[in-house]
Structure 1
């Protein structure tokens, strides 16, 4: 029987469903993409075009004023370096510590596994607060260093639970028993079996932890000094410096220009701060979806 004859005949209802489904998905895609396109277009437009609402889809009065203003700040280069340094260091330590915490909790005969899981889950319900955390960081001698941003959040309980579930549901326990019979140690099994088979969840962890470190600015403001601020804090300071105070502006034209520049800077800063993470995603997208789907079962 030919493939054409074997093809199932679709009813009118199926065709209508496909049309409605595709229309809805296209509409949803446009809703998601439009803000991104708008921000990118606004960042390349003139301040007047942005404040007057002339930008809709494409740049209006193409200008690089926003980017020129941002890159004139002498702290941009150092801020970018510190942001990359923090993201790489924090992601490396965070992923390693999370895997090391999740693996023992996935082993069935690990003594006290249930107790440790309850203790970890308990910490998700309560926080120490900002002042106790600051005093603790200061007493440990971490204030003013990037270790204050990396060590306290190195192990996220949610990430540990998701990773443990991934290992339990994806890697057969028979592999562990076979490796044990062959004389493989727990460390050897972890390095030679668990890590190579955990690429999807490693991709997810890398993305989650990296984005968290890259976007965070509040902890950097609290625990770091002004001479080693990361990019996000530098960008925030640029916005604050370009804010206008109407009471100190006697000239209306000057006030309007400053307001337009301040508005334009927001879009330029969004693009600058988002590009590095957008460039990272294509390298891990192959494993990302699988890791999210499997690791999302947190049982």
Structure 2
């Protein structure tokens, strides 16, 4: 399981974006906190994090969208199908055309819906979480993406 989790923990692009944001914080705020006796951790916790909500939201969105649809590493490294991520299970039903029986759908003796309808329902399951989360993060997106891009 760690072979799927560890390689995607830190992205170099995201580290550069976050670093550019923190370098761009106003020096006067940091200096005034240091004069008041704030340590480096207090600077980070009380000044850095509250001012960096936009960049944290964008990095979270980048990670979420970037790895939500990834299935290839799990396909390579995981042999146990019970540990497969959602996207690999969905790929099995949609791309490989695995048939769902009436027992898989919880139907007892009833007719199974057409395979195309089942595939479209499975695709909606994979799309809805991103569609639900994105509107809450969207307002921070433009500000966070442009952080560190233009120096003036």
Q: What TM-score does the superposition give when structure 2 sets the normalisation length?
A: 0.77
- Equivalence for 1:159: 14
Aligned to 1:226: 81
Q: Please point out which of 283, 286, 295 is paired with 2:136.
A: 283
Q: 2:90 maps to which residue?
A: 235
Give 1:156 deviation, angstroms: 0.8
2:29 to 149, 156, 175: 175
* 8 Å CA contact retained: 1:220, 1:233: yes
Q: Counterparts of 1:1-299 in structure 2 under 5 Å?
A: 145=1, 147-169=2-24, 171-224=25-78, 225-239=80-94, 240-242=96-98, 261=115, 266-295=119-148, 297=149
CA distance in 1, matches of 2:44, 2:52: 10
The offset of 1:193, in angstroms, is 0.6
Question: After superposition, what is the alpha-carbon deviation per residue over 1:97-127, rounded to whole angstroms, capped at 9, x for unaligned?
Answer: xxxxxxxxxxxxxxxxxxxxxxxxxxxxxxx
CA contact (8 A) 2:90 2:123 kept: no
> Would you tell me which structure has more helix in proportion to its own residues?
1
Q: Check conservation: 1:165, 1:298, Cα contact below 8 A.
A: no
Distance in 2, matches of 1:205 and 1:298, equals: 18
Q: CA deviation at 1:298?
A: 8.0
Give a deviation string over 1:184-211, Cα, whole Å, max 9, x none. 1111111111000001101101111111
Quote the offset at 1:237 in angstroms: 0.9
Q: CA deviation at 1:293?
A: 2.3
Q: How far did residue 265 of structure 1 move?
A: 5.2
1:268 Cα offset (Å): 3.6
Consecutive unaligned residues in structure 1, runs of 5 or more: 1-144, 244-259
Task: Check 1:236–1:168 CA distance in 2 against 1; reply closer, same or farther (3 A cut).
Answer: same
Shift of residue 177, structure 1, vs aligned partner:
2.0
